[in-house]
Amino acid sequence: MKKLPVILLALLALASCRKAETPGESRLVVEGWIENGGHPVVMLSESIGITTGQQISVRDFMDHMARWAKVTVSDGEKSVVLTGVPDPEYFPPYIFTTDRIVGEVGKRYSLTVEYKDYVATATTVIPVPVPLDTVYVKDVGADSTATVMCGFVDPQERGNYYKVFTRTEGRDSHYHPSTFAFAADDVMNGYTELFLFSTQRLMDFAILPNIMEGDSLSVKLCTMTEEIYRYWNDFEYKTAYSAFNQNPSGTDSYSNVSGALGYWAGYGVEKEKGVKIVRPAAATE
């Protein structure tokens, strides 16, 4: 999703970086998405072999980018080799994309990545979007951290899966995942609200409240397939485990990509909503 990253974020290689690997081992990591009305975006890296307690730096991520891959996306009618281009709106600042494919609701998209000895494949579908109904500030604490609520109406049809992404004006160039803001409709029907308290950025390994009084927050609700919901669910719980235990989780996160770690996601997206983070008595949607 241009302007949306995570993934996961972007969340380039975070799942693999939390795994205790033998130094020198590596896996291909794919972070890719396409939303309705948008173009495919794919970010590639090789996972970083680390040992327990080892710190990873910005330079480590840059050194493990996979710039020279052949990345192909097919929409069932045409196959297009994506172009690799520098893009400072993401980190690491390099993506594969094309304007020759535009996402459509209900359409299936296939991804093939060829890099060194790696061959990775995946398919995804863009589900019907569900619009955000409300976004409002629930609380601002004494330390100026805020809790925001977003509400939407879950359709009666079963099999809907959701994930929220947020962007803070002046800090984020694109959207990042909102920590634990995901849901499946096996536990909901009709109007539903999700808590937003933290935007998960690439190098912010600790999951702490970071939506602050004075922020201007944009919120985007994405629908997705069950596979991508499973990815985000598994990814975030393993990330939380690693952060609070200060040790790698020791296992890979779920992936819908064959031959690699990561994900290839189709997102159904309606227009985002914004909110200014002020005390609830004066909050405006």
The helix (run of H) or strand (run of E) holding residue 15 is helix 14-17
pLDDT at residue 23, as a whole number:
46
Could you read off the pLDDT of 88-106 as tens digits, one per residue? 888 778 999 999 999 999 9
The helix (run of H) or strand (run of E) holding residue 238 is helix 226-245
Please tell me whether residue 185 adopts helix, strand or coil conformation.
helix
Q: 57: Cβ–Cβ under 8 A, 6 or more apart, which residues? A: none
pLDDT at residue 41, as a whole number:
97
Average pLDDT over residues 70-95: 93
pLDDT at residue 48, as a whole number:
62
| Res. 64: pLDDT tops 50 | yes
Both tokens assigned to 229: 């919901």
CB 278 within 8 A of CB 216: no
Band (pLDDT 50/70/90 cuts) for residue 22 is: very low
- pTM equals 0.84
Strand 83-86 and strand 94-97: the pairing is antiparallel
| Res. 257: pLDDT tops 90 | yes
CATH 3.30.70.3280 assigned to 14-282: no
pLDDT at residue 187, as a whole number:
74
pLDDT at residue 59, as a whole number:
62
Q: Parse the chain into domains and list their residue ranges.
A: 14-282
pLDDT at residue 284, as a whole number:
46
- Residue 284 vs residue 66, higher pLDDT: 66
| Res. 165: pLDDT tops 90 | yes
Mean pLDDT for the chain overall: 83
Q: For 62, phi and psi rounded to 5 degrees?
A: -60, -40
Instruction: Report percent pLDDT > 70 for the chain.
Output: 78
CB 176 within 8 A of CB 6: yes
Query: How many of the other CB atoms lie within 10 Å of CB of 274?
Result: 13
